Structure 1
Amino acid sequence: MAGFWWWKLLLVALAGILFSPQQYSASQKVPEYRFMRNATSASNIAYFDYIVIGGGTAGCPLAATLSQNYNVLLLERGGSPYGNPNITNLATFGAALSDTSPTSPSQRFISQDGVINARARVLGGGTCLNAGFYTRASPQYARETGWDGKAVNESYQWVEKTVAFQPQIKQWQSAVRDGLLEIGVQPNNGFTYDHIDGTKVGGTIFDQQGFRHTAADLLQHGNPARITVLLHATVHRILFTIKGKSKPKAHGVVFRDALGRRHKAYLNHDHKNEIIVSAGALGSPQLLMLSGVGPAKHLQAHNIRVTLDQPLVGQGMSDNPMNAIFVPSPVPVEVSLIEVVGITKFGSYVEAASGENFAGGSPKDYGMFSPKVGQLSTVPPKQRTEEALAKAIESMDALDEAAFRGGFILEKIMGPMSTGHLELRTRDPNDNPLVTFNYFQHPHDLERCVQGLSTVEKIIESKAFSPFRYKNMPLSILLNMTASAPVNLLPKHANSSLSLEQYCRDTVMTIWHYHGGCQVGKVVDTDYKVLGVDALRVIDGSTFNFSPGTNPQATVMMLGRYMGLKILRERLAASD
């Protein structure tokens, strides 16, 4: 019996499940947006001052802000997050990510590296799907980006009044925090939204009742008389006018509703009006290419008329690689998402999440590290096939729920130096593009991963964390346990032991922080205007050279508000 118990624990790490659902009985106040409707009700042709493509993390605050003074159309290819418990409740975190249906708020994609990933397809974007951690970028990041510090802080505060909360830190997260401090990830910065070296408790977009607050909530600050939000509105291309030798000028968009009917939206006749793309790190470069702005040869290969030969569209794609270690616990642990972070000086962030079985739900169903959401680290990336996922899920379902007691400590590297690129797969905007991130291509990224895992080992062995570890389970066993399990074997290497370098390569996963494709200085200028064309901007994470802070959502929401205010100020100044 002891051997069978041990085998179950080994399979837990292979299956990679994080925590079970928790039930909440509190009722959530749902915003009533009279300006939001299905695109099937849209007129065939309409005119606006601003057309924002993508109602995601940046698009919602941007559209709400611009609507203070101007008529704004916000086009979102997905549906509403409201009324969907798989989005709104902490109890069902991961359920949306595991839904692979055509109408899911999460659209699964697999990078050319073989890592399974997800992109949002819902009003509110990634804030509807993520683990909720809220933290700002560092002041240095803001300075290097060229942002105005005062306006940045005011924009963060505007966001935080609606969507950010202080989490309740319980035993597991406290042990990780104290372990980080014990091993020297100092100082203790307590609870703060700020990005500071050392150990801190960050914010969360889940409130005290376990309800998720998203970028869609920021639309409540819009002017209802000036904003129109269309759901299930998929933009197929941006329309340009080209006169003589002048720059191409964006003047409208073509979109289709859920029934496939074609609609057009145009800018009103004012040269200051603009189209703004906020479709995310995959959607924004994809849409530019579909509209003829991109590498000419690639566009011609897809029979797309070239509006502007811009070879840097789709370049500079990065994803912060994540590697995690499952730590089985001899005692029950609370359900927790990312709440504590260790910001190391060598460039790795250490975080943790935990869980156990609660009444009303099974830990096998959901979780950040579940094969059901595509997180499969028990085979190397290129071998993470549908068959491998199915086998991992089957093995996981066969386990007793008691075997899922424990949690994960993860590390992810900041600002990966490895970069890749994005290309079109088809001319259908509903299809995922081809994207390559080239994880660990740069040796410095691999070095930081190894340092991060070494830091995780020290936390596991710390006195503070001792109540949550088995004494006879050192890191070598935690890393190599997959080699003796009966399913989903990692490759056995010549030295018969799994080095940290090889562990990084073989078990790399995503934490959904991919960025790039329309970077500042390459595709857009410092005002996020697309170089080489007029009346077109890109404002979202595709413009980032590095992911801001430990987690980007706060900064992406801030950027939407920040740029909305900047655009309003510039237009006001021009009219004086």
Structure 2
Amino acid sequence: MSSNAANGRVQAAGEFDYIVVGAGSAGCAVAARLAEDASVTVALLESGPDDHHYTVWTPIALAKTALNAGPRNYAYYSVPQPGLNGRRSYQPRGRGLGGSSSINGMVYIRGHRNDYDQWRELGCEGWGFDDVLPYFRRSEANQRSAKGQEDLLRGDNGPLHVSDLRSPNVFSRRFIDAARQAGLPLNHDFNGAQQDGAGLYQVTQHNGERWNSARAYLHRGDANDRGMNGGRKGLTVLTDTQTLRIEFKGRRATGVRVVRAGVEQSLRARREVIVSAGAFNSPQLLMASGIGPAEHLRGHGIAVVHDLPGVGENLQDHLDVTIQKAVNSTDLFGYSLRGAARMVSEIARYRRNRTGMVSSNIAEAGAFFRSRPELAEPDVQLAFVLALVGNRGNAKKKPGHGYSCHACVLRPESRGHVRLNSADMRDVPLIDPRFLSAEADMDGMVAGIRMIRRIYAQDALMQAGGKELRTDGFGPGDGDERAIRDFVRDNADSIFHPVGTCKMGVDDLAVVDPALRVRGVEGLRVADASVMPTLIGGNTNAPAIMIGEKAADLIRAAA
């Protein structure tokens, strides 16, 4: 099923009040919230398929979907990165209903309150932490929230289920104990009053199944329910529908040109077009439609609607490095005959009661810490993974059993950009994060590696045995800094949190204003992670959903 017909208010020519391009984390939220008004019609356009597939619902399947190109993963690569010794960075992006929330690690992190207060200080009025907190709360049904009781931080009645892990792995517990032995405090709630410390992550799951943004906002919750508008009669969801460009009359967006089943057609928006195609494809669509750096557009034969130099600039991403340790235990994921036998029993367990290793998001535990005591908030995040993982997208052999720990610098100073490869939206955009172009980012990576090795050296993990891989050249203790820096350049890669390419703000490079309206034109907004002026301190899925929630209110207020 690829679409849901709306009610009779939708005209045969394809007219809607609102058209939302991209059914990812933010797009599902903004479209569903707009369609709560029974007097309007909304079209939600998605280039990929629906999300009714076991690889979406089953948590452990992220090991397949996130690391491999397929119908639900664009699996982009960046241009060669000088800071990574000329390697291309693997850049997966979700394709299909739910977008990247259908292939991500399901970790629910809002970020530090200072991140949003900084947005406000940069001129984004209405985006301070106290302003956005109600939208986080409105979006979530948090397992920890006491039903019917006031909780100033959590929501209990939203569409997005946020849960504690049902079957935390014994090694995740070991990691937390080791982190405490290494001097980090225990933190039971990374979205609470303090972010510092080590603990288990909450996840976007419900009853042991992934709860992506499509399931939250478009479906009724049942995996067998193949409806896609959540009972909202005014919402039409069109999958396998590639948007080619936004159409304008003068400087006003009037609709979009799409191709569906090989046929091109125009869809008209009576009120607004909202672009929610993500940090790579949102600027790509603006540029393909004539909004962006004029010289770059003319170089691809695109007529300039509005010269907006910030489109595609300000790309920020969390660079990540991983330290692996081989451990011969089938409590950890890996390839072996014993491991295969264990997984047979775990699959049966999952089918019975949705618990066990199959319900794991693999990155169950983590930590936030400050690399320098004078910092106002944590600047490095760790994610403990129950498998041997290294460079994503470059797997050459099946690994044995073991664990890994990721470290990423939360607020990188490096800035990159997205450019057109051609005027055709079906072509891959040119992605250049310019990783490690700012030297300060390398300092944070070194601090992250040193903290990981300090944690690995504690009794709680040492008692399980095993051997670190590829770190012999580091030496004892904090290790040789030059060797660590070389290791980072040889092994670091994205942890898949690109933002900022349609920056919100009031400066000359801002693409949208604080109401998310594209500057210089009318009837057009962007609502997704691309509008973030700076990266938040943590995973970006929850903030993207918050942006979609807030965007819907901004749009309704304008109407």
Shorter-chain TM-score: what band? Answer: 0.7 to 0.9
Aligned pair partner of 1:349 in 381, 388, 393: 381
Q: Which residue of 2 aligns with 1:562?
A: 550
Letter in 2 for 1:61: A
1:133 matches 2:100: no
Choose between structure 1 and 2 for higher RCO, CA contacts under 8 A separated by at least 6 residues: 1
Aligned pair partner of 1:430 in 426, 431, 441: 426
CA distance in 2, matches of 1:466, 1:108: 36
The 8 Å contact of residues 390 and 491 in structure 2, kept in 1 or not, is answered as: no
Aligned pair partner of 1:153 in 109, 126, 133: 133
Aligned pair partner of 2:73 in 91, 106, 128: 106
User: Displacement of 1:97 after TM fit?
Assistant: 3.2
CA distance in 2, matches of 1:227, 1:66: 9
User: Displacement of 1:474 after TM fit?
Assistant: 8.9
Partner of 1:189, secondary structure, is coil
1:97 matches 2:77: no
The worse-fitting range, judged by mean Cα deviation, of 70-79 and 327-336 is 327-336
Partner of 2:134, secondary structure, is helix
CA distance in 2, matches of 1:478, 1:90: 36
CA distance in 1, matches of 2:304, 2:323: 47
CA deviation map 1:242-275 (0-9, x unaligned): 1xxxxx1111111111x2201211122xxxx211
Instruction: State the identity as a percent.
Output: 26
User: Displacement of 1:536 after TM fit?
Assistant: 0.7
Change (3 A) 1:568 1:499: same
Q: Which residue of 2 aligns with 1:58?
A: 26
The 8 Å contact of residues 413 and 445 in structure 1, kept in 2 or not, is answered as: yes
Q: Which residue of 2 aligns with 1:236?
A: 244
Change (3 A) 1:79 1:479: farther
CA distance in 1, matches of 2:67, 2:365: 25
CA distance in 2, matches of 1:137, 1:36: 38
Letter in 1 for 2:248: F
CA distance in 2, matches of 1:329, 1:36: 53
CA deviation map 1:36-69 (0-9, x unaligned): 79xxxx9873111111010101000110001112
1:537 matches 2:525: yes
Q: Which residue of 1 aligns with 2:157?
A: none
CA distance in 2, matches of 1:329, 1:205: 29
CA distance in 1, matches of 2:383, 2:468: 20
Counting only pairs closer than 5 Å after superposition, residues 307-346 of structure 1 correspond to structure 2 as: 307-334=305-332, 335=357, 336=360, 337-346=362-371
Q: Which residue of 2 aligns with 1:411?
A: 407
Partner of 1:450, secondary structure, is helix
Change (3 A) 1:311 1:566: closer
The 8 Å contact of residues 56 and 216 in structure 1, kept in 2 or not, is answered as: yes
Letter in 1 for 2:320: M
Change (3 A) 1:311 1:150: closer
Partner of 1:51, secondary structure, is strand
Partner of 1:404, secondary structure, is coil
Change (3 A) 1:405 1:457: same
User: Displacement of 1:328 after TM fit?
Assistant: 1.1
Q: Which residue of 1 aligns with 2:490?
A: 506
Q: Which residue of 2 aligns with 1:115?
A: 89
Change (3 A) 1:456 1:478: farther
CA distance in 1, matches of 2:481, 2:522: 57
1:261 matches 2:289: no
The worse-fitting range, judged by mean Cα deviation, of 166-175 and 432-441 is 166-175
Counting only pairs closer than 5 Å after superposition, residues 67-82 of structure 1 correspond to structure 2 as: 67-69=35-37, 70-82=40-52
Q: Which residue of 2 aligns with 1:439?
A: 435
CA distance in 2, matches of 1:410, 1:100: 22
Q: Which residue of 2 aligns with 1:48?
A: 16
CA distance in 2, matches of 1:106, 1:370: 19
The 8 Å contact of residues 2 and 49 in structure 2, kept in 1 or not, is answered as: no
1:467 matches 2:463: yes
Partner of 1:123, secondary structure, is coil
Partner of 1:528, secondary structure, is coil
User: Displacement of 1:202 after TM fit?
Assistant: 2.2
Letter in 2 for 1:306: V
Partner of 2:386, secondary structure, is strand
CA distance in 2, matches of 1:565, 1:449: 39
CA distance in 2, matches of 1:411, 1:249: 44
User: Displacement of 1:182 after TM fit?
Assistant: 1.9
The 8 Å contact of residues 172 and 365 in structure 2, kept in 1 or not, is answered as: yes
User: Displacement of 1:151 after TM fit?
Assistant: 5.5
The worse-fitting range, judged by mean Cα deviation, of 527-536 and 325-334 is 325-334
TM-score when scaled to structure 1? 0.77
Count the aligned residue pairs: 470
Aligned pair partner of 1:549 in 537, 553, 558: 537
Partner of 1:513, secondary structure, is coil
CA distance in 1, matches of 2:460, 2:268: 60
CA distance in 1, matches of 2:490, 2:93: 23
Partner of 1:263, secondary structure, is strand
User: Displacement of 1:516 after TM fit?
Assistant: 1.9
After superposition, the CA RMSD in angstroms is 2.6
The 8 Å contact of residues 189 and 195 in structure 2, kept in 1 or not, is answered as: no
CA distance in 1, matches of 2:27, 2:469: 46
CA distance in 2, matches of 1:119, 1:214: 14
CA distance in 1, matches of 2:5, 2:231: 12
The 8 Å contact of residues 190 and 196 in structure 2, kept in 1 or not, is answered as: no
User: Displacement of 1:165 after TM fit?
Assistant: 1.0
Partner of 1:267, secondary structure, is strand
User: Displacement of 1:120 after TM fit?
Assistant: 1.6
CA distance in 2, matches of 1:291, 1:305: 8
User: Displacement of 1:312 after TM fit?
Assistant: 1.2
Change (3 A) 1:266 1:518: same
CA distance in 1, matches of 2:295, 2:382: 42
Change (3 A) 1:98 1:466: closer
CA distance in 1, matches of 2:487, 2:21: 40
